[in-house]
Amino acid sequence: MAASNDCATRIVTFADLQRRVAGRQLVFPPQVEKVAAAALARPELLAFESADKIAARAGVSKATVARFARLLGNRNLKEARRVFREELRRRHDINAGRPNC
């Protein structure tokens, strides 16, 4: 079963992914949904971990992790990492601007 994607454009930001999943504009097959849930809950997992570790954390196969990356409009996991790394960078920049109390 392919992902339902009314707007077949590449996911370019983490916020875009969140919005499209929440709005049911992007619906994944059940196994891929496990990867999506892990990615949304812990973007650092997709940003830095190996496909094997992501698969183990999500309880899916390594091939399912690769499929998730492709369903986001990327050629592979390496390319998909950009979205998650940029989100972590954005969060860091926001937190860096706050005073430590």
pLDDT given for residue 49 in this prediction: 98
CATH 1.10.10.10 is right for the domain spanning 29-93: yes
pLDDT given for residue 1 in this prediction: 45
pLDDT given for residue 30 in this prediction: 97
Is 0.85 topped by the overall pTM?
A: no
Domain ranges of the chain: 29-93
pLDDT given for residue 98 in this prediction: 66
pLDDT given for residue 19 in this prediction: 94
SS3 of the chain: the string is: CCCEECCCCCCCCHHHHHHHHHCCCEECCHHHHHHHHHHHHCHHHHHHCCHHHHHHHHCCCHHHHHHHHHHCCCCCHHHHHHHHHHHHHHHHHHHHCCCCC
pLDDT in tens, the chain (101 residues): 455 444 456 888 999 999 999 999 989 999 999 999 999 999 999 999 999 999 999 999 999 999 999 999 999 999 999 999 999 999 999 888 766 55
